Structure 1
Amino acid sequence: MIRIGLTGGIGAGKSTVAQTFIAHGAYHIDADKIAREVVARGTPGLAQLVEAFGEDVLTADGGLDRPALAAKAFVSDDSRKLLNSITHPLIGARTQELTDAAPDDAIVLHDVPLLVEGHMAPFYHLVVVVHADEDIRLRRLVELRGMDAADAEQRIAAQATDEQRHAVADIWLDNSGTPDELADAALAVWERRIVPFRDNVSARRDVEPSIDDTTADPEWTALGARLVNRVWALVGGAAQAVEHCGTSSAAGNPARPIPELTVTVADLVAAEALTEPLAAGGFPPVESDDPHVRPHGSADPGRGARVSVRPAE
């Protein structure tokens, strides 16, 4: 199983990419749908909201009056934190429940509009960002969805910036063209990168990157930081440190740099214990002549990596 995080600004065209992936077998988990489900009429989540914000957040038929809740929940940081303290654990638990129910060989597609804002990127094997320039998105929201222009501008401004999305994007899909062009690009990513990545993770297979990047040429410090965060998410408290140490060259393409990371642990027993979490996360073990290091490669055909797990000296 691998987990793919899909995100993009409002009006960017994320649904076209989601539909393409789903049509080819993705196991879809929709964050917006879950957020509505956990506070539906009659749920414990809705009861908690009523207790926190009052009976007037209910509609006449006992459902959630979302505008009324927003009027109360977004007036201050404290009220927003209260809302999040109720909804986020419920959303997280339901998301985990659905993920646990996925087949072992699934490609789990987690469709999350606020993935960047929620600092969720490190918890996926890959993050796919769908992008369109702000003026294109604004026009789509007004002309195709019938939104008020001022409201659309406000929603766009409240979300992550393009720079913030770039920082977490493993795959950057430009949607300045037609829906068919975006669907074709998404299908190419699915067939050439996502499916092979899933297969490589299942086989615990290290590969050299074999496809062209689907993002712009990376800023290596940003890519290193992204990989460091991803490895931290996999190793957790078992590591003393995770560091980006620089780059080396791909065996088949000396001109193509490969990020190198070091994970420092207490001893070789701790290093061995990280073999499976790293492999399941896309960093399978590889052979080494050094008995004091447990090296890992990358199962991602689009991005190489070398991760050395070594005891503290």
Structure 2
Amino acid sequence: MVRIGVTGGIASGKTLVADELAGLGAIVIDADVLARQVVQPGTTGLAEIVLRFGSEVLQPDGSLDRARLGDVVFRDDRARADLNAIVHPRVRAEATRLEEASPAGAVVVHVIPLLVETGQQNSFDGVIVVDVPEETQVERLMRRNGLTRQQAHDRLNSQVSRQERLAAADWVVDNAGAPERTRRLVGDLWDGALANLRKAVSGD
């Protein structure tokens, strides 16, 4: 098994890269997807969030109001740490379960937005960083999530710097251009460095 970590700043395009890797044959385990699953209504994760942050972070239907919770945690380091302490262990446990169920020779890609923040950069056979300029992140967040510029910057500032993230990279995928260019870069990486890594791990 080859284990690859994929990370990048918020709105950098991790999903585009992960989807392309999946299409090429990788098994993708996305921490963002798991983070939503572990706080669904009826889960202990959501119950702990309500206990910590109050019922005002719930939608009328009892599901988590992610936008409201985001307004709290992205401007309060302690609140964000408390939320991470609830969500991250559950996400890691589910990611481990999914990885252990993967075939022995698989390329397993873990998409982890906070990979560097949580010190996991040395836990993989290689790390791909999806990179765009910070202003591109801000513009995408404002357009995609309907955020103000200040809210977008709050979310960027809650993560490590672009320089720290790039320092953890074995490979960088520049996603500042057209999606077709990004897909081509991912394909080149799959056929080149990742193919060599697969051979090295398998002993071929």
TM normalised by structure 2 equals 0.87
Query: Deviation per CA, 1:134-189, whole angstroms, max 9, x where unpaired?
Result: 23333334456654333223322332212101211000122232211111111000
Shift of 1:96: 0.8
Which residue does 1:18 correspond to in 2?
18
What is the one-letter code of the residue matched to 1:179? P
Residues 52, 115 of structure 1: alpha-carbon distance in 2 compared, 3 angstrom cutoff: same
After TM superposition, list the pairs within 5 Å mapping 1:8-157 onto structure 2: 8-70=8-70, 77-143=77-143, 146-157=146-157
Task: Please say if residues 2 and 201 of structure 2, whose CA atoms lie closer than 8 Å, have aligned partners that are also in contact.
Answer: yes
Mapped contact 2:74–2:155 kept (Cα < 8 A): no
The total of aligned residue pairs comes to 204
In the TM superposition, residue 19 of structure 1 has moved relative to its aligned partner by: 1.6
Partner of 1:185: 185
Deviation at 1:110, TM superposition (A): 0.7
State the SS of the aligned residue for 1:128: strand
Task: Report the CA distance shift for 1:75/1:149 in structure 2 as closer, same or farther (over 3 A).
Answer: closer
Shift of 1:191: 1.0
SS at match of 1:85: helix
Q: CA deviation at 1:47?
A: 1.9
Distance 1:27 1:86, change over 3 A: same
For residues 82 and 19 of structure 1, what CA distance do their matches in structure 2 show?
31
Render the CA deviation track for 1:9-57: whole Å, top value 9, x for unaligned. 2232222211211101110101111111111011121122233333343
Distance 1:11 1:78, change over 3 A: closer
Give unpaired runs (5+ residues) of structure 2.
none
Q: Which amino acid aligns with 2:42?
A: G
Structure showing the higher helix proportion among its residues? 2
The structure-2 alpha-carbon separation of the partners of 1:15 and 1:202, relative to structure 1 and needing over 3 Å to count, comes to same
- Report the identity percentage: 39
Query: Match of 2:86, SS?
Result: helix
Identify the residue that residue 210 of structure 1 maps to in structure 2. none
Q: Which amino acid aligns with 2:160?
A: A
Q: Secondary structure at the match of 1:64?
A: coil
Structure 1 match to 2:3: 3
**Structure 2 SS opposite 1:96:** helix
Query: What residue ranges of structure 1 are gaps of 5+ in the alignment?
Result: 206-313
Match of 1:208 in 2: none
- For 2:67 and 2:145, locate their aligned partners in 1 and report how far apart those are by CA, in whole Å: 19
| SS at 1:28 equivalent | strand
| Alpha carbons of structure 1 residues 32 and 120: separation in structure 2 relative to 1, 3 Å | same
How far apart, in 2, do the equivalents of 1:95 and 1:26 lie? 15
Question: For residues 97 and 9 of structure 1, do their structure 2 counterparts lie closer, same or farther at Cα, with a shift above 3 Å needed?
Answer: same
Alignment-mate amino acid for residue 164 of structure 1:
E
For residue 114 of structure 1, report the CA deviation from its aligned partner: 1.5
- CA drift at 1:59: 2.6
Query: SS state of the match for residue 122, structure 2?
Result: helix
Q: Secondary structure at the match of 1:127?
A: strand
Structure 1 Cα separation of the partners of residues 70 and 144 of structure 2: 25
Task: State the superposition RMSD in angstroms.
Answer: 2.3
- Decide whether the 8 Å contact of 2:75 with 2:154 is kept in 1: no
Change in Cα spacing, 1:79 to 1:159, as seen in structure 2 (3 Å) is closer
Bigger CA drift: 25-34 or 132-141? 132-141
CA distance in structure 2 between the aligned counterparts of 1:58 and 1:136, rounded to whole angstroms: 31
Structure ranking higher on relative contact order (CA contacts 8 Å, 6+ apart): 2
SS in 2 for 1:62: coil
Q: Aligned partner of 1:31: which letter?
A: A
1:167 counterpart residue number: 167
